[in-house]
Structure 1
Amino acid sequence: MMKTLPVSMFFTALLFFASTGCYAADSIELPQEFLDARPSHQLYMAYAEFKMGHHDLARQMWQSIGGSGRSEALFNLANLYIQGVGVNKDPQRAMQLYRQSAETGSRAAAYQLGLIYLHSAEYQNRDQARHWLTVAALDGDSDAAQQLANLNNDDPADPLSRVESLLVNGDADQALQLLHTLATATPPDNRAITRLAWLYESGLAVEQDITRAAELFAQAAEAGNAEAQYALSVMYQTGVGQPQDSQLAAQWLQRSAAQSYQPALDKLANPAD
């Protein structure tokens, strides 16, 4: 789940997902604890299930979330359809969901739409790209603001923009090579390290390696990347990739929230849930 994700993550948006689930679609009774929770905590619970490989359960959770959690839930559903995780890959459906999410207030979805309209061969539309990047930038997204500046001034693009362009167009091997180059540069690009962590966690373009993903999340988190800090918090909370440790989970959540990372702020807003 990426920006507002990872619940985001992925991009923070192209989020990188595993391709297998542990539940049969459309046959899951949602836990009462989930049904009774507030939307912010429902999002956290769905994300935790997703990280544990329970993709169908996570999907049904996201489908049921309303109220203040609706826009982020729609964003996460769109990511499933763009990657074909637990559902048939359907870019058109993904675009519909991204737009619904953006129109109901998701900054991450607005940024994602901007990137797709900027880079995708199928959907390329500079006017739409400029519109959605402007929406995200006005909502405080610094990456969107930089993309908009590059678009308006023809400046050299952020290297991660090139990664996203490659991924949107299905060039995962080249994207992976560029990510490795950025992650091992001096100094390393901690955003690239976080992206690599998502890849290793999901098994997309590389062999799935949860241990390696945990190492990369920890490296980027220690260096101050808020997205990685949140992902590491979830690992400690769920016991996937790290030993279950509620104290460390809370510490990393606090550090992520201190940088105004929205999913972390949402989780802290309802600590009793």
Structure 2
Amino acid sequence: MMILKLRGLHLNLLIAFVFSSVFYTQHSTAQVWDQLFEEQLESAESGDADAQYEVAIMYLKGRGVEQDFDETLRWLNMAAENGNEKASSKLRRIQGQKKKFAAALKRAESGDSKAQYDTGMMYLKGRGVKLDAARGRQWLEKAAAQLHEKAVTRLAILLLKGEGGKSDYDRAHNLLDSISDSSALAQYYLGELYASGKGVPPDYEAAVGWYRKAAANGFNMAGGKVINMEEEIRMQARRKANAEKAAAAAQQQRAKLEQARQQRKAALAEAARNASSAAKAKAVAEAKARATQEKRVAKAKPEPAPAPKVKPVAKAKPVTKAKPVTVVTLLSPLDKLATTQWSAHNKPMEYLPSTITQCGVENNVLICFSEELKRESGNHTVLYKVKSEVRKKKGGLSIAYRNLVLGVEDMEVLDDAKDAEDALGYGDEVDQGFVIKTGWTRAHQVDCQHDGDGAMNCMKDKTHRIHVVEDVQVAVTQKK
């Protein structure tokens, strides 16, 4: 649940929502808006003033339908004529915004950098004019060329996101770096660049440093990113330690196999030497016997002498091949668990090894950290990650996990008091970073019991039952 309250020009944001084991996708958001638009449109066409107002706003925001400023005005006028006060108020604000846009555009064309920035932002947000990101970017370019700090910051963000034109990470980095001493937003987005490796080599330590600076200068959303980066660094170290441990075990196994091979080689050589000595002794004995026989024949005695008895030569023992030695390194139950993939309702688990988590063993605990996930909360999308600690217990697993809130997408700032210049200067979702609370949510406990091979029955917070299964096909594919 998300609550937005507007007090004067100050926005307070509270996120207090409950996560389940299934993550949210952007695709479902579009479907929800499409369905909502159809429902509201049907009511609006039947004369419902409230629905007419909602349809107008959806045309204004481009939600469930392509943005259309003319249709916005048409439906607002219709709703206002039918007595909807919000529509009347919105029309007055739009008329006021149109006048402001015309005045700002005139000053911008004369070279005023602030007016150029304002004009660019109005184009970007569709305030007083039809939304046009390309034109908005053009006007921000003009203001940034005059070193207008907000324009430089906003232009860099557009270059990062590829809005209003192509992405340019190198230029975005240079612009942000040029104002990094005074701009918390620039510091935050420099952290984003180093965290993602866009335009610069990926560097988690550098990212943490920039996020810390942004948080210290009031950009609250950076606090969640600091926690995230620290967790990523710990996970990297954990996985590196696990890999080194596995490499050491493999090296030990190779050493034992080499020792066994050398022992087999020595045994075979000894057997071969013994066989050669026996063969030589037999050949000598046979040669002596033939010589003695030949001497007796040469004497030509009338009665043949009995053949001399030849002392039997011991037969060489057959060379026996040594049995190959196989050294097997046994995985601990948690190490083995880390190689599996789990899902529920055909969707990967957020707090168990799966296609959306990275896991590593530390101090007999399997620690998993998910990729960035999304969940719908009201009209907004919450960005978060999940960290879990998995322990073995008799007959199953004990799992403790928490969600790390990173930020919000598509946060709609109320504009009831937007006629004056915005308190923070940007007047849109960028401002959310100054007011949104990020960080850890409350902890959850999940207890799982094995239910045959590759399946578990789990109980979350002693209230929610979840049946999870091992995705064998996914696991095999990943191992290949």
* TM-score normalised by structure 2 residue count: 0.26
Structure with more strand by fraction: 2
Higher RCO structure (Cα 8 Å, ≥6 apart)? 1
- Decide which structure has the larger Cα Rg and report it: 2
Select the structure that is richer in helix: 1
